[in-house]
Chains A and B, each alone.
Chain A
Amino acid sequence: MNFSEVFKQSNQLCKVSPDGKYLATCVQYRLVVRDVSTLQILQLYTCLDQISHMDWSSDSLFILCAMYKRGLVQVWSLEQPDWHCKIDEGSIGLVSSRWSPDGRHILNTTEFHLRVTVWSLCTKAVSYIKYPKACQKGIDFSRDGCYMALAERRDCKDYVSVFVCDDWHLLRHFETETQDLAGLEWSPNGCVLAVWDSCLEYKVLLYSLDGRLLSAYSAYEWSLGVKSVTWSPNSQFLAIGSYDEKVRILNHITWKKITQFEHPSSINNTKAVVYKEVEKRTAVGSDDLSLHITIGTALYNTRSKYEICPSPVQIPVVKPDPDRANPKIGVSSLAFSSDSRYLATKNDNMASVVWVWDMQKMSLVAVLEQTSAVRCFQWDPCRPRLALCTGNTTLYLWSPAGCVSVQVPTEGGFQVQSLNWHRSGDSLMLLGKEQLCLCYMDTDQEDKSLGCSFCLPS
């Protein structure tokens, strides 16, 4: 495992191009494009204001930089640095900006969600879409880039419009049976659209591509409902995380619940491996019985390693304030591994714990208990390997073979706040508050010379 040097970035705006060759980072109002393997600066662009949002086009040729305060979007070309494009939304303001799947249109959502403007980079055509809904996830493109689903709200009713991305032709427009639509997501095979209600009502609706309601699922009434929804990559499962600390899995044939995963505060499962992060403050040069070798330059090194805890295990629970809205309870993060074999979940009132479930056996496989709240976790796009970070200087990796905690070797400490895998699964991009670091994985993970500590289940 090799770590690159640390680069500056602002706003956590660092993205690798879809073809995996370039890395674009934003530093204040500058856009820096580097080569991923050498990290050499290839291009440098300057925008008119501090960049609020940056994104690559799907063909990795263009980058859009949105400046929400100014209501501006600037598009840069990688091949032709001289080419420029500036979209000014004027007084109507800008709230979000995104590429269309073909990489030739930009969709800008105006302030107050008054409308979505579709700017074309090929023609002079401009399209407007009225009444977009301001919700958690109101727009979603299908994976093949053919269709776009947009949530609308008119006359206190929710609608979904399906557009053909080719020419922005409205294919379908139908009303949904939701009280207050909170989000929608296409299945990876592009044939089913999952639509869910806000947390005041537990309702998940499944519509087919042509607008027919396939199924409606509601686990319970009255209590706070759906918190997060995700599809499995093979479109076979739909995982719904809710405020009652449970994840329910629906299957794509009958759209009925096949199982539910619970997050109890005491784990009695003997088949699951519970990894507990244990921190040690060791002075430099002291010997340890553990596998790692101390490197660092600080006087005290906070090393952490995983220990396997025997069952039963108690998980620390933080009770949320009952009077506040959007309480910190329930399953807020769900992620399937790329082969749909594993599901990683995080329950908000056990924020320092990540649960890994096996979808073949429908049971708990591992529990990772960290010393502080988990900030981000992501699966390797190629293999069943989960990377997570908790805001300290350590990177944690889990795979079915075992757990690794790796210290990020930077001076001055680098607090890892979020991470992103490269699409090849060979490298990982670690984002701190204002810093960026790339971590290159070796094919052979057991590199003992860099302060990794391993934990293998028995």
Chain B
Amino acid sequence: MGEWWTTVPIGTSLGNDEISSISHVTMSPSRQNNLVSMYSSLPPSRSSYHVLSSFCTEDNIPQCISYINQELDSLGLSSCIEASAPGGAGLSRVPALNAMHELMELHRRDMSTLEELEREQLKKCSALDHIQMNNSRLKDQLELSIREKSGLHETERQLQLKIKTMQSCLKTEKDEVQKLQSVVAGRASQYSHDAKRKEREAAKLKERLSQLLVDRKDKKLAIDVLNYLGRPDGKRSHWKTAKATVGHEGEMYKSLLNDYEVSQRSLMLENAELKKVLQQMKKEMIHVLSPRQPSPRGAAADDSQDQADSDEEEKPADSSRETLDQSCEYAKEQLANSIRQQWRKLRNHMEKLDSQASLVQSQLESNREMIPRETHKDEMERMRREVQQCKEFIHVQQQLLQQQLNTSFDDETAALLNDCYTLEEKERLKEEWRLFEEQKRNFERERKNFTEAAIRLGREKKAFEEDRASWLKNQFLNMTPFTDRRRCSSSDGQSALSIRSEPEMRMSSTKAQLAQSSTYTTFSTPKPSQSAAVPSTTELYRTLRLIPDSR
């Protein structure tokens, strides 16, 4: 629907706030129809009247009048509306009508300017639309032409390329033509040279012929020998017979066959050698590959494969050992294929190792910031060690391979060589056995010594027991009822015993001190004790129970 409140076009001098303060209804001519359609039921005067009636009532006529005068002032019109009679409800007609007329004029002017402006705007809108359309059309055109241009560039570039290739073709053709020309020139000169030579020869022939025809004295060809010689091998010469002819043929074929046989033999030998070498290589390669693969899964697979390989090997080995006339096409192919397979595996493995090493390297490089330094270092060290080990292993294998390639041998010497490897072990084992035997002997000797010592000990013990028994007997026999005397005697006995025992001890100290100490300290086992300490006298008495312990 139409807008009821519209801002007045910019042409007039009205301020916006003034308008907003008044409940004004301004209608544009375009909107008028809407309003008319809205209020179609009401006559226009009545609608205005409706609005006006709310503004002015019987009571506020002078205020309305003053207000209207103010408004008229602000609009620039003469404000001369006054009441017809002071305090009256009527208006003076003329100024009111004039004011109304002026207002209508104003309104009409406004409308017309509005109309014009709207027309202008419409025009401008349509012009804008038109321009926009033009713009888009031109843009499309531009794009199209740009695309065309690039297409043309492309074709131009291709044509340039074609020109270049054509030029190079032309150049090569020219070179070839030149080469052929030179060849033709060379041949031509050669032909002309030969032709000249033949012509000279023909001329000489003609000359000689004419000379011969003229010079009738034909010098006969003859040989003048003093005496004919014998044949170089001394035999008589034979008649030329058919048998001789056949003999010659036979000779010729014999010599040819000989030659073929010789060459075939040498080729067979070479072939056998190469086959052996290939087989060795295959074995070595299998050996190199097998410890590498992961044990549980790989072992089974390897075993099966080794089995298959050994089965394969059996066949060519057998067939090569059989008569050489047999065609071992199949065996040869088999061997070649298996060698290729093994080599491919080895190569893949090497490549894997290489890639692993490089991967590790790159990983290390990329994770440098993230891992702490020590772990990084440790990792590096570990990996380096691993790589070194792998390298060494491969190097050793290579050397072995080379060795095997250089030395050609069959299975018997292979077994022999294996024996040689174990020989070292055997030697070492023998050495160790020898050492062991020696040690055993030493132990035996010592044991013997100890048993001897024990026997000696036993004997000494016996002797000592006897001694003791005799001494006890003496003591018992010398026992007195008096304690003093006993004490004295015991002290005498002590001193005597001590005197006696000391020389005894001095004497026995010369003997094996081990035996002595063992006798006096422990009576049971002949264990050698290293302590050479001689027990003190009181200890001795105590052990011998000669003096009571508690005293």
Chain A interface (Cβ within 8 Å of chain B)? 58-59, 82-93, 102-104, 111-112, 117, 119, 121-124, 126, 146-147, 164, 166-167, 169, 171, 189-191, 199-200, 208-210, 222-224, 252-253, 322-327
Q: Which of A84, A121, A210, A322 has the most CB of B within 10 A?
A: A121
Going nearest first, the 3 A-B pairs with the smallest beta carbon separation are A325-B193, A90-B221, A90-B219
Selected from A121, A325, A327, the residue in CB contact (under 8 A) with B192 is A325
A119 to B223 CA separation, bound complex (whole angstroms) = 8
Q: Can you sample 12 A-B contacts with CB below 8 Å?
A: A84-B225, A85-B226, A111-B208, A112-B201, A121-B229, A147-B252, A171-B252, A190-B255, A191-B255, A210-B253, A222-B180, A322-B182
Count contacts on B: residues with CB < 8 A to the other chain: 49
B237 beta carbon closer than 8 Å to chain A = yes
A199-B190 in contact (CB<8A):
yes
Give complex CA distance A304, B204 in Å.
48
Which single residue of chain B is at the shortest CB-CB distance from A114?
Answer: B205
Q: Is the CB of A169 within 8 A of B231?
A: no
Contact between A222 and B183 (Cβ–Cβ < 8 Å)? yes
Report how far A102 CA is from B231 CA in the complex, Å: 8
User: Within the assembled complex, what's the spacing in Å between the Cα atoms of A398 and B288?
Assistant: 47
Neighbour of A208 across the interface among B215, B220, B222, B256, CB < 8 A:
B256
Given contacts A91-B219, A200-B187, contact A122 B231 (CB under 8 A): yes
Which chain A residue lies CB-closest to B228?
Answer: A122
Chain B residues with CB under 8 A of A126: 223
Kindly supply a per-residue 1/0 record for chain B positions 304-338, scoring 1 wherever the CB is within 8 Å of any chain A CB and 0 otherwise: 00000000000000000000000000000000000
Q: For A323, what are the chain B residues with a Cβ–Cβ distance below 8 Å?
A: 185, 189
Contact A224 B186 (CB under 8 A): yes
> Assuming A210-B256, A222-B187, A323-B185, what are 12 further A-B pairs, CB within 8 angstroms?
A84-B226, A85-B224, A85-B225, A88-B224, A102-B232, A111-B208, A164-B248, A167-B237, A169-B240, A190-B259, A224-B183, A324-B193
Cβ-defined contact, B267 with A210, below 8 A: no
Residue of B nearest to A222 (CB): B183
In the complex, per-residue mask of B183-210: 1 if CB is within 8 Å of any chain A CB, else 0: 1011101111110000001001100100
Nearest CB to that of B233 among chain A residues? Answer: A102
Does residue B21 face the partner (Cβ distance < 8 Å to A)? no
Asked if B292 CB lies within 8 Å of chain A CBs, one says: no
Residue B529, interface by CB 8 Å: no
Chain B: interface secondary structure?
Answer: helix
> Taking the complex as formed, is B218 at the interface, i.e. its CB lies under 8 A from any CB of chain A?
yes
- Cβ–Cβ contact B249 & A83, under 8 A: no
CB-CB under 8 A from B511, the residues of chain A are: none
Interface flag for B238 (CB, 8 Å): yes
Chain B residues with CB under 8 A of A112: 201, 204-205, 208
User: B263 within 8 Å of A by Cβ?
Assistant: yes
**Pair A326/B263 contact, Cβ less than 8 Å:** no
Q: Which residues of B contact A103 (CB under 8 A)?
A: 232
Q: Which residue of the partner chain B has the closest CB to A162? A: B252
- Chain A residues near B212 (CB-CB < 8 A): 91
A169-B228 contact in complex given A90-B221, A112-B201, A200-B190, C-beta closer than 8 Å: no
Q: Please tell me if B244 contacts chain A, counting CB pairs below 8 Å.
A: yes
Q: How far is the CA of A209 from the CA of B186 in the complex (A)?
A: 35
For A164, list chain B residues within 8 Å (CB).
248, 251-252
A122→B234 CA distance, assembly (Å)? 11
Considering the chains assembled together, what is the distance between the CA atoms of A124 and B263 in angstroms? 42
With A123-B228, A166-B248, A209-B256 known as contacts, the answer to whether A117 contacts B221 (CB < 8 A) is: yes
Q: With the chains together, A210 CA to B220 CA distance in Å?
A: 37
Q: A82-B226, A189-B259, A253-B263 are in contact. Are A322 and B237 (CB under 8 A)?
A: no
State the Cβ distance, A218 to closest chain B Cβ, in Å: 15
Select one of A191, A208, A322 contacting B185, CB under 8 A. A322
The answer to whether A88 and B186 touch across the interface, beta carbons within 8 angstroms, is: no
Indicate if the CB atoms of A92 and B186 lie closer than 8 Å.
no
Report the minimum CB–CB distance from B274 to chain A (whole Å): 14
Q: A residues within 8 A CB of B204?
A: 112
Residues of A within 8 A of B240 (CB): 167, 169
**Bound form: Cα–Cα A274–B241 in Å:** 61
* B211 (CB) vs chain A CBs: closest residue: A91
Which residue on B lies nearest to A57, using beta carbons? B232
In the complex, the answer to whether A88 meets B228 with C-beta atoms within 8 Å is no
Docked pose: A102 CA to B208 CA in angstroms: 34
